[in-house]
Structure 1
Amino acid sequence: MNSTQQQSVTPQPAISTGSMLTQVSGVLTAIIILILAIAWLAKRFGFTARRGGSQQLNISASCQLGQRERVVIVDVDDARLVLGITAQQITHLHTLPAKPAQGSTDLPAAPTDFRQILHSLRKGQGKKS
């Protein structure tokens, strides 16, 4: 009986360490790529948390003067700052008054069409002659 038991029991093939390492590293790489893709989508579509201070400090205009130099207008609570920015420092150039509230400004009159403007200009030139 001893010989029949040895014939019926066959050893299982050993798992290759190289193939197991390849599978694990492949799955980990896929998980990292998935996490990065989700983070990119969240940033792209604005699902990330907004910073609390961004409402009080806002860059309203910027002008590039050189490769690393620029002038910006920064809106703060009660003033607008004109700043000169270089690679080494930020310099306060001027302080402007705060912007008026958007709701309190009067709406401008509806713009006239081009034909009416051209017609009024022609009439104005005819009167001078």
Structure 2
Amino acid sequence: MSAQTTTVAAPQAMPQAGSSLMQVSGALAVIILLILLAGWLAKRFGFSAKSGLSKEVKLRSSVSLGTRERIVVVEVEDARLVLGVTASQITHLHTLPPAPAEMAATPTPPAAEFQNLMKNLLSRNGKR
């Protein structure tokens, strides 16, 4: 009799569904974190668009005249400009002198006005 060697192939391990799902989830989480980090860095170092007006130009009031038309009062250095603003252009309408000191002061916040109003109403009704 001759000796025959038989080789039995070892069964290959099947990949587990849980481990591949964890790898994909981990990679997705890392990508999302990198996107958020890039956005934060762009905002932190000024790569994003600037919002609002500069310190030299202050919007004092605005009135809507239609769906896309407005009249605005803008304070620039020592003058107040009345501008007509449309979707396609900005037109200088009038130049006003600088605001008086009492007008330039910050108005009372609405919460304080409401509080004073409530005190007055309660004192009138005798509930105080």
Please report the TM-score for the alignment, with normalisation by the length of structure 1: 0.48
> Structure 1 or 2: larger helix share?
1
Please report the TM-score for the alignment, with normalisation by the length of structure 2: 0.48
